[in-house]
């Protein structure tokens, strides 16, 4: 390069930088996309209710999880597609037996300037498992199969027996008791996030209050009025602060979803939920604001298979007939009308790495299904001269009621089945269903992590969540095999086929998350199956 060209290049660079800086003052642009950013980078959204806790070790609801993900950062994060990307851990290694994970931490800081140490993770995990904290989410560490976790929770071993250690300030070693292909994925869950040992020990339960809380995420807690609002603002100590754009995030507790929608339309909110049934109208009026993305939950009816049930339900023909006669398309398109999808498998269709298997029912038309259902009912000895009577229970909610009414009509019209509907208050319902004091009951399950076993583990004989009390040794063997399989899809397909064949549950639909999201809010992780969003990935463009 000649002197002249160097000079010109330098001059050009200086002008570019100066011009860019001057321009940035007036209209900052997004560093990657170049979009012009709005001057006010505040994101305000609605939550249904106050979260029971914002302590990472204790938090138990998804709204609380959204808050905690902004305030704290674990070993791993998720990107916009739900893939894992480094968080506090820069990298990790797995031992050959897949049972020991070694994480190398970056130079991250707490919001008070202290370094985030490996020992903070060790402390946080031990604390989450400790009987003293009695965290309702300590079971997540059991799900992760951390060494000795059940014994620690039960109080049979001291907390330092837990399979996590810190050989030095930048290294965390975790030992697990069975290989879990999705283990790194689970580290994006809030129960595994670090907490500042010094602060928690000094302040006790008071440490989560604004002013007291020290955190290591992209934001710090600045205001919290329970049942009203929670405000978090940018954390200058965050290691990736320079790439954070949103300055302030406010969550407002608004119990009533219609009120929330009114306030959204009045411009007070950037994001809110769409009340049931309003999706089509809102989509027509505000096409740029309405979003509907898969939401990691499945809706189903569970059938009691114990001796307290209606004896007719012990006949697999009856169960299959009932499942076939449910016209999922009507439920999804006419009753719910919010982007949900008909379910013929338990596992949500959008689960990572899961291909929905071809069960016989999927390829049939509804007319063919109804025809087969009638045949099966006749084979079981039920028909117009001998109609079957059933009881179906659900927890009190207009949405559950609409679905139950629709399903009972389908059963009545196609099979002549008389269904008595019963709704119960939530707590009463849980007890009734948990005690197998029902015939058919509503159920729903949401993914804890983005992998099919989060759904399919539920139907194992010993699972505490298996309300149908479905017992099938073949199924259990498949699920055990899947844990070490190179391609667990094979086992998952077989497991779904077993469910389709034995019908302990009737899958009805797979959830969608229907939201209003202001059109100038960008960076939303639409493809993140669990809808785990991080405010630091969002930005607001100028209108």
List interacting residues with other proteins (CB under 8 A).
Answer: 49-50, 52-55, 58, 131-132, 134-136, 138-139, 142, 150, 153-155, 205, 208-209, 225-229, 252-256, 258-259, 262-263, 265-266, 268, 425-428, 430-432, 434, 443-445, 464-465
Give the C-alpha separation, 451 to 266, whole Å. 39
CB of 300 to other proteins, least distance (A): 12
Q: Are strands 219-225 and 229-234 parallel, antiparallel or unpaired?
A: antiparallel
User: Of 265 and 314, which has the nearer Cβ to other proteins?
Assistant: 265
Give the C-alpha separation, 513 to 321, whole Å. 30
> Is residue 483 within a helix (H) or strand (E), and if so which, with residue range?
helix 473-484
User: Of 381 and 434, which has the nearer Cβ to other proteins?
Assistant: 434
CB of 429 to other proteins, least distance (A): 8
User: Of 47 and 491, which has the nearer Cβ to other proteins?
Assistant: 47
Sign of CA dihedral 379, 383, 389, 393: positive
Q: Are 529 and 352 in contact (CB under 8 A)?
A: yes
CB of 75 to other proteins, least distance (A): 23
Distances (CA, A) of 314 to 179, 181, 240, 440, 496: 36, 36, 58, 12, 20
Q: Are 149 and 142 in contact (CB under 8 A)?
A: yes
CB of 209 to other proteins, least distance (A): 8
User: Of 254 and 373, which has the nearer Cβ to other proteins?
Assistant: 254
Backbone φ/ψ region at 277: left (φ over 0), alpha (ψ -120 to 50), beta: left
User: Of 227 and 384, which has the nearer Cβ to other proteins?
Assistant: 227
User: Of 132 and 242, which has the nearer Cβ to other proteins?
Assistant: 132
User: Of 382 and 455, which has the nearer Cβ to other proteins?
Assistant: 455
Strands (E), 51-185: 76-78, 84-86, 89-94, 100-105, 164-168, 171-175
CB of 104 to other proteins, least distance (A): 31
CB of 521 to other proteins, least distance (A): 19
* Residue keyed to tokens 């001269």: 385
Cβ count within 10 A of residue 210: 14
Sign of CA dihedral 43, 515, 445, 359: negative
Beta bridge partners of 234: 219
User: Of 183 and 445, which has the nearer Cβ to other proteins?
Assistant: 445
CB of 265 to other proteins, least distance (A): 6
CB of 480 to other proteins, least distance (A): 19
Q: Are 528 and 82 in contact (CB under 8 A)?
A: yes
- Find the farthest-apart pair of alpha carbons in the chain and give their distance in angstroms, rounded: 101
For the record, the structure tokens of 438 come out as 């029902």
CB of 247 to other proteins, least distance (A): 20
Q: Are strands 84-86 and 418-424 parallel, antiparallel or unpaired?
A: unpaired
User: Of 250 and 366, which has the nearer Cβ to other proteins?
Assistant: 250
């Amino acid at each position: 390069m000649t002197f002249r060209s160097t000079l010109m290049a330098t001059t050009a660079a200086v002008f570019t930088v100066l011009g860019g800086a001057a321009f940035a003052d007036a209209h900052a642009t997004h560093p990657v996309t170049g979009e012009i950013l709005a001057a006010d980078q505040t994101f305000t959204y609605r939550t249904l209710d106050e979260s029971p806790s914002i302590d990472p070790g204790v938090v138990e609801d998804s709204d609380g999880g959204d808050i905690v993900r902004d305030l704290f950062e674990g070993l791993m994060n998720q990107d916009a597609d739900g893939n894992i990307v480094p968080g506090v851990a820069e990298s990790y290694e797995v031992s050959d037996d897949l049972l020991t994970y070694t994480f190398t931490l970056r130079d991250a800081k707490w919001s008070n300037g202290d370094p985030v140490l490996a020992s903070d993770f060790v402390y946080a995990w031990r604390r989450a498992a400790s009987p003293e904290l009695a965290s309702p989410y300590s079971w997540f560490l059991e799900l992760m199969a951390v060494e000795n976790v059940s014994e620690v929770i039960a109080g049979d071993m001291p907390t330092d027996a837990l399979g996590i250690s810190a050989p030095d300030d930048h290294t965390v070693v975790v030992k697990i008791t069975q290989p879990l292909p999705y283990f790194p994925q689970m580290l994006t869950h809030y129960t595994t996030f670090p907490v500042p040992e010094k602060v928690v020990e000094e302040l006790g339960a008071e440490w989560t209050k604004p002013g007291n809380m020290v955190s290591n995420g992209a934001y710090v807690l600045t205001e919290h009025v329970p049942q009203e609002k929670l405000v978090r603002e940018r954390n200058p100590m965050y290691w990736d602060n320079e790439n954070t754009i949103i300055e302030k995030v406010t969550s407002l507790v608004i119990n009533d979803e219609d009120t929330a929608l009114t306030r959204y339309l009045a411009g007070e909110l950037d994001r809110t939920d769409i009340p049931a049934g309003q999706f089509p109208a809102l989509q027509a009026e505000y096409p740029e604001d309405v979003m509907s993305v898969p939401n990691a939950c499945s809706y189903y009816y569970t059938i009691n298979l114990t001796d307290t049930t209606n004896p007719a339900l012990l006949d697999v023909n009856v169960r299959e007939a009932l499942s076939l006669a449910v016209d999922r398309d009507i439920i999804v398109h006419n009753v719910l009308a919010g982007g949900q999808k008909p379910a013929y498998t338990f596992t949500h269709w959008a689960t990572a790495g899961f291909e929905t298997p071809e069960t016989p029912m999927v390829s049939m038309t509804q007319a063919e299904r109804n025809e087969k259902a009638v045949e099966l009912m006749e084979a079981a000895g039920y028909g117009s001269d001998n109609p079957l009577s059933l009881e179906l229970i659900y927890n009190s909610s207009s949405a559950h009621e609409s679905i139950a009414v629709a399903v009972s009509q389908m059963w009545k019209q196609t099979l002549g089945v008389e269904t008595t509907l019963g709704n119960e208050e939530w707590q009463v319902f849980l007890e009734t269903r948990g005690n197998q004091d029902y015939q058919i009951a509503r159920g729903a399950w949401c993914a804890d992590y983005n992998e099919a076993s989060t759904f399919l583990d539920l139907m194992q004989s010993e699972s505490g969540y298996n309300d149908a009390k479905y017992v099938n040794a073949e199924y259990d063997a498949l699920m055990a095999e899947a844990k070490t399989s190179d391609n667990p899809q094979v086992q998952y397909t077989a497991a779904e086929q077993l469910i389709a064949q034995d019908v302990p549950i009737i899958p009805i639909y797979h959830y969608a998350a229907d939201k209003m999201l202001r059109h100038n809010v960008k960076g939303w992780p639409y493809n993140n199956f669990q809808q785990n969003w991080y405010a630091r990935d969002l930005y607001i463009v100028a209108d």
